[in-house]
Structure 1
Amino acid sequence: SERAMEMEQLIQRLEAVCVRLEAAGGVVPAAAAAAIAAAPAAPAAPAAAGGSSASVDAFEELIEAKVNKLVSVAAAIGDADLQKTTGFLKTAFDEEAKVIACVASCKKPDMQTLQSLLKPTADQIGACYDFAGDRKNKAFQHTKVMSECMQGLTWVAYTQGSGMSMPMKTVQESWNSAEFFANKLLMTHKGDKNQTDWVNTLKELMKDLAAYVKAHHPTGPSWNPAGSDAKSFAGGAASSSSSGGPPAAPPPPPPGSLTESKPAAKPAGGTAALFSELNKGDGVTAGLKKVTSDMKAKNRTDRSGLVKAPAKKKAAAKGPKVGKTELAGGKWFVEGHVQNKEIVIEETKSNQGVMIYGNEDCIVQIKGKVNTIIVDSCKKVGVIFQDVISTVETVNCKRIQLQPLGKLPCMSIDKTDGCQIYLGPDSLETEIVTAKSSELNVVVPQGDDFKEHPIPEQFVSKFADGAFKTEPAEHGGG
């Protein structure tokens, strides 16, 4: 309050007077000493649970305006897995709100205390990531979008020298990674208002979160240097979060317990068993069966001289495989990955190229500006990239997806069957050159929605006026 601030300023002025008097004569007048003693103590920093700083209030408003709206939209859709997915975000934001309150009212803690503060939020991020990989999850596409977005909540862990991006950039990068999957959702559920509202609300939330971080924590969490110790806050949070949980599991039994069942003795084998049988003498053949006439090979009717060809072995299903991602000779090489959705190239330069070769069922993210990108002999691969100076080429590929987040002059699609291109506002002027390719579609933004445009793959050539004129083939609807 204003009265508390005035009182704190008065105390500071009296203390400054005392310092000057002590420096001059070493004696503090009785009037000044009495004034200091009579002055009430400065109000303590606001409690963590009820902090009233602007950053705490703004974060609570963000939860109320956007997070709760997202929960309502998920409830309107009615899918249980989608509601569970949205619940991860809601809980993570609620836990991060506690961290924001601690930041406003506590001094910067040591690393161990900070980790204990961030653990509840990190647990929700990990749970969402695991749920995205659950094959029983019917809303796995939504969960993948949410998992990428929730990475933006890690901005609160930023410290100088940690190697992390700045807080606002961390939030922006998380949405850039999620937008690829969000666009696929919009195309899949085109015309479904609730589904479109869910994606757009999540997009607005991430933009508002980036604006919040820029306004209140641009260079990292703004800890209160005059605040209390964060350890007490972390301890209280840990005890409150664990008070209603299930009892801890009993410890495992000690190794070597006397109650352990001993393994059964193995039968003797090897040379000892052989000599034991030979020592039986004439009884060694007692267990053999007598061969009758119909058991002899020449008299058996179930066998013939035909030699059957061995059965062909079925090709083993490909499993996840981590290939090569390295920088060599001024070019990045991404080769031999299978079912790897976490390939990220970060430390790029404008004079470097990227070669993506022989990958299957993968997603490659390229951050920063590069010179060229070549995608060769890949299947079911998505490439998300920012600015490209020269061109993006695909050759000998099947079912690939490309999404530029920045500007690029040209795309060349050659010998590619199935290519989906998602253009953004900055890349609408891109030239697309195609040859010997099929099933090409370009998705462009149209207001809050997206529109898909097919690229012609059939042409009609007519000879007229001494030359051939070629135009795309038009198919009339029946």
Structure 2
Amino acid sequence: MSVVAYQDLIQGPLRSFMELSKQIGGDVLAQANLVLAAFQAQVRYLELTACQPKPPKAQDIQYLTPTSEQISAIQQYRESHRTSPFFNHLSAISESIPALGWVAVSPAPAPYVKEMNDAGQFYTNRVLKEWKEKDKKHVEWCRAWVHVLSELQAYVREYHTTGLVWAGKGSAVAPPPPPPGAMPPPPPALPDTDFANMAIDDRSALFAEINQGEGITNTLRKVTADMQTHKNPSLRQAPAPAPVRGGAGVAGGVHKPLPQPGAGALPDKPPVFMRDGKKWLIEYQKGNPDLVVENADMNNVVYMYRCRESALTVRGKVNGVVLDSCTKCAVVFDNLVSSIEFVNCQSVQMQVGRMLRL
């Protein structure tokens, strides 16, 4: 029954999204085809869960690999098309497609889907702002994608309320709906992760962690009722707990790193400092306090992406500055025509030399 409902989601909301993607074409359609492949991979996985008990972890990871590979392809497409005129479209999908990782979340996967949907709406709002007066198809496209994930959330809430349901006596969780107060704590336990404060890029690492193998269970521990905000309202008033630092800590507040070297950490890619038309790209800089943008024009935008422990000075007057997924960074600028934005950043600072329009 749950597989049929998932197929209805593909034939209904997702099909409408695909039709709008075809009308826009280009990079939007290319990435949308990868999205369709990801949903098709997941429905094949659900067909397995509907006809067999939960297999050993190694076998389950093998079953999940096709979906994981499609998610990675979607995100890589965005990274390799950063100069695309549809970059915000690509980002909206890339940031929210980890919603398909709900199969690895328990005991409440539906809220996780919603959180991924909300993450993508940061970029769909940008698309709406840019295109609402130019082409209404882009407005419809945004609404269609948000609707796909909303329907996915509703599906998960109805058929997999407390986690992915397997057939037979070996299922990992009780079938929904759970009787209040009667259901034993469902194994496996929820990972010790603060989803509310997790950076978006770390959310997208969900399937990458699945592919680590059986060692991933070393970082799991039980989440008790007093640690859950919906059961302990006092937690909502308290400040967010500081992330525990480890030798290979993960950006974005993941509590514990996996034992594998570099698992979930920011990718150690070559640093980038270049001018691409009207955009200055400063990416993957680490421990560099002497970054300077000079000879910029008023219509230029400075984009700083996934930098750590670095400082940027922007001399002259530019249109705007964006810091995206940066940690422990600072930016100093003389004059801005438009605005400065901080997206998914931690411990960042700014200093205005002359003028910032409010």
Normalising by structure 1, report the TM-score: 0.40
- Specify the alignment match of 2:200 in structure 1: none
SS at match of 1:105: coil
Output the CA distance in 2 between the equivalents of 1:146 and 1:180.
11
Output the CA distance in 2 between the equivalents of 1:147 and 1:68.
18
Decide whether the 8 Å contact of 2:307 with 2:329 is kept in 1: no
- Specify the alignment match of 1:362 in structure 2: 323
Output the CA distance in 1 between the equivalents of 2:112 and 2:70.
18
1:320 paired to 2:266:
no
Output the CA distance in 2 between the equivalents of 1:316 and 1:83.
28
1:216 paired to 2:179:
no
The change in CA–CA distance for 1:214 and 1:363 in structure 2 (over 3 A counts) is same
Once the two structures are TM-superposed, the CA of residue 223 in structure 1 deviates from its matched residue by 0.7
Pick the aligned partner of 1:96 from 18, 38, 42: 42
Deviations 1:371-416 (A, max 9, x none): xxx996467xxxxxxxxxxxxxxx9998323689xxxxxxxx9959
Pick the aligned partner of 2:27 from 56, 81, 84: 81
- Specify the alignment match of 2:121 in structure 1: 179
Once the two structures are TM-superposed, the CA of residue 63 in structure 1 deviates from its matched residue by 0.9
Output the CA distance in 2 between the equivalents of 1:226 and 1:378.
61
Output the CA distance in 2 between the equivalents of 1:402 and 1:339.
10
* Count of matched residue pairs: 222
1:55 paired to 2:2:
yes
Decide whether the 8 Å contact of 2:38 with 2:70 is kept in 1: yes
The change in CA–CA distance for 1:103 and 1:365 in structure 2 (over 3 A counts) is farther
Aligned positions of 1:193-208 closer than 5 A: 193-208=136-151
Decide whether the 8 Å contact of 2:113 with 2:153 is kept in 1: yes
Output the CA distance in 1 between the equivalents of 2:80 and 2:37.
20
Output the CA distance in 2 between the equivalents of 1:195 and 1:101.
34
Deviations 1:115-141 (A, max 9, x none): 111111111111111110114644332
Residue identity in the other structure for 2:92:
V
- Specify the alignment match of 1:134 in structure 2: 80
Decide whether the 8 Å contact of 1:341 with 1:364 is kept in 2: yes
- Specify the alignment match of 2:64 in structure 1: 118
Decide whether the 8 Å contact of 1:414 with 1:437 is kept in 2: no
Larger radius of gyration: 1
Pick the aligned partner of 1:340 from 301, 305, 325: 305
Once the two structures are TM-superposed, the CA of residue 55 in structure 1 deviates from its matched residue by 1.1
Output the CA distance in 2 between the equivalents of 1:416 and 1:142.
34
Deviations 1:427-452 (A, max 9, x none): xxxxxxxxx631x4xxxxxxxxxxxx
SS at match of 2:324: strand
Output the CA distance in 2 between the equivalents of 1:72 and 1:103.
30
Output the CA distance in 2 between the equivalents of 1:105 and 1:64.
22
Residue identity in the other structure for 2:283:
P
Decide whether the 8 Å contact of 2:50 with 2:167 is kept in 1: yes
Output the CA distance in 2 between the equivalents of 1:137 and 1:110.
42
Once the two structures are TM-superposed, the CA of residue 198 in structure 1 deviates from its matched residue by 0.5
Normalising by structure 2, report the TM-score: 0.53
Pick the aligned partner of 1:399 from 327, 339, 352: 339
Deviations 1:65-115 (A, max 9, x none): 1111111111122x2221111111111111101111211211011111111
- Specify the alignment match of 1:47 in structure 2: none
Which structure has more strand as a fraction of its residues?
Answer: 1
Residue identity in the other structure for 1:178:
G
Decide whether the 8 Å contact of 1:128 with 1:147 is kept in 2: yes
Pick the aligned partner of 1:167 from 91, 105, 109: 109
The answer for unaligned runs of 5 or more in structure 1 is 1-53, 161-165, 229-314, 325-337, 344-355, 367-373, 380-394, 405-412, 418-435, 441-478
